[in-house]
Structure formats: C-alpha cells, structure tokens
Structure 1
Amino acid sequence: MRRSVISGLSAALVLTSAGVGGALLAPAASAAPASPALTTGVADGTYVSLKPTRMLDTRGSYLGRPLNAGEVYNLKVNGRGGVPSTGVSAVVLNMTVTAPTRAGNIVVYPKGSAVPNASSLNFVAKDTRANLVTVPVSSDGWVSIRNATGQTHVIADVQGYYVGSTTTKPAGAVDYFPDDPWRALDTRTAQDGPALAANDYLIQSVSYGANTANISALAVNVTAVNPQWTGFLNAWNGDENAIPNTSNLNFASRKTTSNMVIVPVTHGVGSDGTTPVLNFGIGNASPGTVDVIVDVVGVYATGDGLRFRSVGAPKRIVDTRTSLGATTLDAATTRTVTAPSTVTNSTTVALVTNATAVSPTAATYLTLWQTGVTRSAASNLNPAAGQTVANMAMVGLSDINQFDIYNNAGRTNVIVDVAGRMDLSPNLASGAAPSLSTRTAPKALGSRVATLR
C-alpha cells in the first residue's frame, strides 16, 4: 500500500546511502519491496537543515515598530541565513509574535499571492507565542507576513529550506521519512528527569540502529509542561559550543505549550561505547523550572522517501465552525477528514499542515493522524480552556486521503490549513513504502548548566 510508510517503522524500506531584507506594504483588506531503481538526479522537494538564524525582529532595526492591523511585511529569505539565492521551493520559519495589543493572527504566504483564508499563528493580547511555519517562496525569493488585527511585533527564525526544481542536490539535502509518533524525552519520568532548571539545558541521544548514520534531522513536537515562569525553549543539534541565539517555543507561567521543531542532530556513540546515536539539545531560557516532552514524528535522512511539494498559498480544508471538512468536536471525539484533490495527488502520503484549536471549553489535547492507524499517545496541540492555539502537524493520509482528529476534553472547534504535501520521491516506483527500522531511545546524556542568551 503506498501509504504504509505512515504505519510504522516495520513497513521497511532500508535507507540508501547516498543583512536586512524586508519591505512593508500599505494596509490591505508488509514485506520490504525491492530497492527502487534510480531514474533521475532530480532533487526538488528534498530538505536542507540550517543553523537557526534570525531573519526578522520588528523590535529592532528591521522595522523598529510593531506591524499594524492589515499591514503586510515582505521578507526576503533567499540569499540570507544559509538559504541559497536560487533553487528554493519553500522555507521553514519559526514565527513568533510578542506584545500584541489584541487577540488576532498572522499569516505567512508567498509574496505576490492574494492574502489566503488561513492563519499561521494565533494569539491573544499581550501574548508571546511561536509556531513553526512551512511557506513557499515567490519566484524572486520572498514571503509575505500579514497581521490581521491590532499591533504586534513579529520575529522570524529560519530553520531550513526545501529544494526547488533542480537536478543538482545541495550538500545536506535529504528526504522525509514519517515514523509512528514516539516519546524520545519526558523529564517527568525517572529516566529522563528531573525538570530543566532555570537557564539549564540537556543533551538527549536517540538511536535508529543501522540507519542512525543516515539521519540529519528529527521532526519533533516539543511540549513545555507546567513552567514555573514565563520564558522559552530552544532546540539545536546539541553542539554545546554553538547554542543558537533563537527560540523555538515560548511559554507563559503554568501554561502547557507545544510547538513543532525540525531539529538538526549531531552523531555520536552511546554510553556503551558502540551504539550509534543522534544528539540534540533542549535549553530552558527562563528563571524557573520546566518539564519537557519531545515526541518524534519523523526523520530527515539520505535515501528515497518523501519530498515536499508546494500547494501555493496555504489552503484551508477544515473549519468546524462552518462544518468545512468536519464538525465541532466534543470530548473524547474523533472526526475523520477527507483531504481534497486541491492538496493531494496519486503519490501524496502526508500533508504539512497548520492545525488550530479554537476556544475549547476545557483544557484539552488534540491529535491528528492517519485514518486506519491506531492513535498514538502523542499530541499535536495542548490548549487551555478558552485558548486559540495553532501548531504545525505532519499528518499522514490513508489510501483514500483521510486523516483523523481527536479531541480529549471539552468541546472545541478546529481549523486545518495545508502548507504543502509530502509525495513519494520520483525515484520510487508507485506503491513502494519507504520507512526506517530499529529505533531505540537511550537515556539522556545528561544536562549541564549554561546561560542561554
């Protein structure tokens, strides 16, 4: 089955080795298949991880003031922060808003497109909140950021990019391999605890057995649980001499908050001296303790897996407030969504989405996953009662393009906007099922005190 890639690592195809830029616009309204034969050197849709780099902070010299209601800021991304000048399909940005004057949202989309009926990040007044966004770039390498209401400062940190139409694969370019969501870190447990102390970090190691050496990044959902103070977490490749001056997840005191991260890794050997491991770091930049959960949903690795394909500006496929795609979810309720042909084709295996919980009546969590597969214990969204919270989700599709949404408690509306799709590599014969095998999660290497900037 062409989508068994999502159903787990046992599906089994072994990996093969193989300055300021911005402009402001005026306000605007089973068994392993045989290894596939390589057909071309096409590299489009592969992913390149970058050291997180700040591309925009409206509090500083980029603009020096917040975005006003309806304003659009055009941000040049090509040729900056490690993103090449050409050959880019989309960029992955960690978007943060801070000090908004009222509840609202921002949307990020390719420059030159009409403002889409979608949102990239939702927030309330005086909030500081982040969300990972995958956004196609315009033909000249720009994206647009629009603030819907009030005023808010906006920060954009680039995490990586997807390669455009080219036969030359850049150094470090890799394919995406989904995984059954699994928990790689939970500081609430005896194995991974205790909670991260103020201005502390830990280095965590995990292993995918023989495939470990081929992996360059992990797609993870990071959750800050019961933070004692307002602050942020950052995630990086675990190099203790190169902690980036960026953030991935912003949280308020006592508020459980999640955000998707594509975190690059470094390679090492486990405490037994032989097991190959992947290392990544998680840092707590706050004056209080915070528990941290990291759920792995996939990996980026050499070999033929899934490639990113743009769907243009974000497309809304679910809005339960209007019964688009699904209806409002009650407690312990699952809704099944059929993804339309506007965001899928015959080789689509997963969608890159922005999922939003709208004003749940109770604190809850939501999970999105492939229809027909057992729901995992991992969550995608952890909103408190009354919050409107968004998070990026890589969502697998069944053979008839369906996925499920589960709400744990209370009653909530849900919005799903599609930023792109994940299709089978053109080097794979139709019906092949790429995946990995043999994962373990060794104990964390430990935490060391560090002052995060």
Structure 2
Amino acid sequence: MVATAAVALLAGTVTANAEPAGAGRDGVLAEPLQSAAARGDARAADDPLGSYFVPVSPVRVLDTRSGAKVGQRGQVTVDLSARTPASATAVVLNVTGTETTASTFITAYPTGEARPEASNLNLGAGKTRANAVVVATSYERQVTLYNNSGSTHLVADLAGYYMLDTASRFTPTAPRRVLDTRNSAPVGQGGVVNVNLSYLPASATAVTFNLTGVGATASTYVTAYPYGQARPTASNMNLSPNEVVPNQVTVQLGTNRWISLYNNTGRTHLIVDVAGYYASDRGYQFVPTIPFRQMDTRPDFPLDPSFFLALPGWDSESASMTIVGVAANLTGVGATSSTYVKVWPGGQDEPPTSNLNVVPGQVVANAVTVGIGYEDHPQIQDRTVNFANNSGYVDVIFDVAGLFVQYNA
C-alpha cells in the first residue's frame, strides 16, 4: 500500500551500447515527477551550508513495545535531542515494524512539517520488517513516524546523524559485492561473520551497504556493528524462513576498518554490496530535503528485463553546487514473478549486485544510496540514476530524502 502518482516516460526505446549501459538492455529515459535539483536548490537557498556525518555505535531510541501500538493514521514522535548536537540536520535510523494488524506503510518526516507523499517502510499483516531511513530533523531535533493502516509497534535504532559542524563526508562508489556466504557456509545461530573493508581509505569512518539475507532456517534478526566493539541492543534486518530480504545499512567502521554481522537464530546466508563510505578527509556534503516522490512507474510502465530505466533531473540551476549522489527509498509493487531490482550510477557498467528483492503480491521497500553519473547513451545523454529488473514485471517508486553535493568555488 503506497500513495500513488504517475510518471511519464519519454517515447521509444533504443539499443544500449555495450558500455556503459546496462548489460545489453534497451534504455528508456524517465521524466521525473519533480526535479531533485530544484528541490536541492531551494533547500540550499534556505540553508546554504551542507552537512557532515557522524556515525555512532547503534543505539535504540524508540520501542513502542514498552507501551501502546501506533494506531491507524497515528504517529509517534522520536526526540533525538539527547543523542544529537544542536547543529544536527538529519539522522540515519533503522526502523522496524512488528505485530502489524493490517497491510500498511510508514512515513518518516521532520516533526512539525506537513506529512509528505512518500513512504519508508511497507508492512504486511503479521510481518516484521525493517528499513533504513534517512530523514531531516526539526529544529527541536525530532522526527515523526506515521502509520497509515491498522496498528503496529515501531522500533528505531540510531546509526548516525548529519550536522553542520565539520565531520565525515560521503563518497559514492560503484556497487561492489564484498561478501556472499553462499560461496562458503551460512552464518549459524549466535554466529558472527566479520567483513574486511580495509580496501577503504584509512580515513574512512563508516560504510553504507546493502545487506541481503537469503535462505534463513528460522525467524531471526541480523545486527551490524563495528568490529571489535560489544554487540549493541539493535538490529538491522528481520528474516523469516526461506525469504530473501534486503536492507541498507550504514554502520561505523571498527578496528582496521572491519565490521561484524551477527545472526540471532537458525542459519542464514548473508550478502553485502557496498554503495559508498564516509571519511574525514574526502567526499561530499549532505543536503537533507523534505521527502518527495521523484519517480513512480505506475500505472503504465512497469520495469521488465528488456530495458534499464535512466532517471535524470540532477542538474542544479545553481552554479554553486553539483549533485553527485542521492539518499532515497525504493519501493517495488506488483511484481509478476520473484525478482530483484538493481540501482547504479549512470555511465557505469551494470553491477552484479542488487538493492531490492520482490515477490508477487508483496509491496516492499529498501533504502538506496547511489551516485549520479553521465549516461552516454544515444537517446539519454544526461546525468542519471539507472534501474533494472531481473525477471517479470515490477513497478518501482523512488522517494528522495536528501542529496550529496559538491560546493563549487
């Protein structure tokens, strides 16, 4: 269940070049519902200073299971003023819904603002699901979580925050698979797999990656945390037997730039696809926005495997900044077969990675952080984010939460 809005697709398909387009697929240029660049320009005009990131060891900041559920069209306010400095502009949360009584969606937005036409987490009745959320905070450093239907408990774990004071900046990278336990052995009950990310620069402080769980033998949760630190009371992913579930994770790097992944119950395979990293001496600043819907392929143009979809709208009219990456939420709706969707920067080879796993009858969302690149395709010729579907048909929705920008001299 998601709010609807149409997307226009420019007429026609064309044959993609072998490089840098998507694996021999045809290419289609999407017409964005809104210009991300215009939104970024407007936000920069109000607040011309970009933000820097501070990772924290995951900490739980909300758990409604100690009280009442969030009811239909209800909301709960998360006060982060004790966990973030006065200069904080946005936070990175992992939001989990559980004991849900009806199919619903959750929207995160700054407290005091009008609720946007966007969503962050989709829940089925009786399901437990998690998703990473990047959301701007109010001046009081609060965010609101809205539940559309039925009732549900919500849990939120803080992974970091953005602030105006100098800290770490983000560098988007070509998606890179660094772990796939299907090539070795699943992670057992109470087991930990440590992931070596020492290829990142020595100044790296945190990493953003897509975590996928495959073939769990029991209902379980997975926690990501800095290697060498005590495992926190927090979680990043919830799995049921035989599901394939993705969730984006931003986590502080531990000793020697390693991270740890803990599985609570049964056995499960885990896959890690790195999307970028934060470092103290390089990268790009963050401009949080009120969430907005940039693309919705419903009702007339679902993705199928024959083409990749290139989404433009990133060229700022302001000479003061260039948009180089985006933090967003990707939702899959109406899949006709079990499939996965991948997202990558324009101009790069289609990667052997994934961002969203969808099965028929399911509405599912996952956070996506991705760079923006120039797609030198004969009928595209624009700076884009690219999308491709592996099997059958599926509609995709793309809600933007913030932009990574380079400020020009």
TM-score in terms of structure 2 length: 0.83
The one of 280, 302, 309 aligned to 2:287: 309
The answer to whether the 8 Å contact 1:234/1:248 transfers is yes
Q: Does 1:178 align with 2:167?
A: no
1:321 corresponds in structure 2 to 298
The one of 390, 393, 396 aligned to 1:411: 393
Which residue type is aligned with residue 134 of structure 2?
A: T
1:66 corresponds in structure 2 to 69
Q: Does 1:235 align with 2:224?
A: yes
Q: Which ranges of structure 2 fall in alignment gaps of 5 or more residues?
A: 1-19, 21-47, 375-381
Cα distance in structure 2, aligned partners of 1:261 and 1:110: 21
Q: Does 1:57 align with 2:63?
A: yes
The answer to whether the 8 Å contact 2:180/2:270 transfers is yes
Task: Summarize deviations over 1:117-165 as a string: whole Å, max 9, x none.
Answer: 000101111110000000000011111110001111101100000113x
The answer to whether the 8 Å contact 2:172/2:370 transfers is no
The answer to whether the 8 Å contact 1:47/1:162 transfers is yes
The answer to whether the 8 Å contact 1:255/1:384 transfers is no
Q: How does 1:217-366 map to 2 (within 5 A)?
A: 217-239=206-228, 242-268=230-256, 278-286=257-265, 288-311=266-289, 313-322=290-299, 327-339=301-313, 346-366=321-341
The answer to whether the 8 Å contact 2:316/2:322 transfers is no
2:405 corresponds in structure 1 to 423
2:9 corresponds in structure 1 to none
**1:392 Cα deviation (Å)?**
0.7
The answer to whether the 8 Å contact 1:343/1:421 transfers is no
Task: Summarize deviations over 1:293-322 as a string: whole Å, max 9, x none.
Answer: 1111111112231111012x2100111114
Cα distance in structure 2, aligned partners of 1:141 and 1:344: 28
Q: 1:284 to 1:243 in 2, by over 3 A?
A: same
2:204 corresponds in structure 1 to 215
**1:212 Cα deviation (Å)?**
3.2
1:381 corresponds in structure 2 to 356
Moved over 3 A (4+): 340-346
2:158 corresponds in structure 1 to 158
Cα distance in structure 1, aligned partners of 2:55 and 2:152: 29
The answer to whether the 8 Å contact 1:93/1:159 transfers is yes
Helix, strand or coil for the counterpart of 2:102?
A: coil
Superposed CA RMSD:
2.0
Cα distance in structure 1, aligned partners of 2:317 and 2:239: 32
1:402 corresponds in structure 2 to 384
Higher normalized strand content (fraction of residues): 2
Cα distance in structure 2, aligned partners of 1:231 and 1:282: 13
Cα distance in structure 2, aligned partners of 1:218 and 1:305: 13
The answer to whether the 8 Å contact 1:343/1:418 transfers is no
Cα distance in structure 2, aligned partners of 1:153 and 1:410: 34
Cα distance in structure 1, aligned partners of 2:354 and 2:346: 16
The answer to whether the 8 Å contact 1:332/1:409 transfers is no
Helix, strand or coil for the counterpart of 1:59?
A: helix
TM-score in terms of structure 1 length: 0.75
Which residue type is aligned with residue 284 of structure 1?
A: N
Cα distance in structure 2, aligned partners of 1:348 and 1:66: 39
Q: Does 1:199 align with 2:190?
A: yes
The answer to whether the 8 Å contact 1:131/1:260 transfers is yes
| Deviation larger for 107-116 or 198-207 | 198-207
The answer to whether the 8 Å contact 1:231/1:250 transfers is yes
Cα distance in structure 1, aligned partners of 2:246 and 2:336: 19
Cα distance in structure 1, aligned partners of 2:285 and 2:141: 20
Q: Which ranges of structure 1 fall in alignment gaps of 5 or more residues?
A: 1-6, 8-41, 269-277, 431-453
Cα distance in structure 2, aligned partners of 1:343 and 1:130: 36
1:21 corresponds in structure 2 to none
1:188 corresponds in structure 2 to 182
Cα distance in structure 2, aligned partners of 1:308 and 1:44: 5
Identity %: 33
**1:341 Cα deviation (Å)?**
6.8
Q: 1:332 to 1:382 in 2, by over 3 A?
A: farther
2:130 corresponds in structure 1 to 130
Cα distance in structure 1, aligned partners of 2:352 and 2:370: 15
Which residue type is aligned with residue 182 of structure 1?
A: R
Task: Summarize deviations over 1:47-82 as a string: whole Å, max 9, x none.
Answer: 00011111111111xxx11111111212111223xx
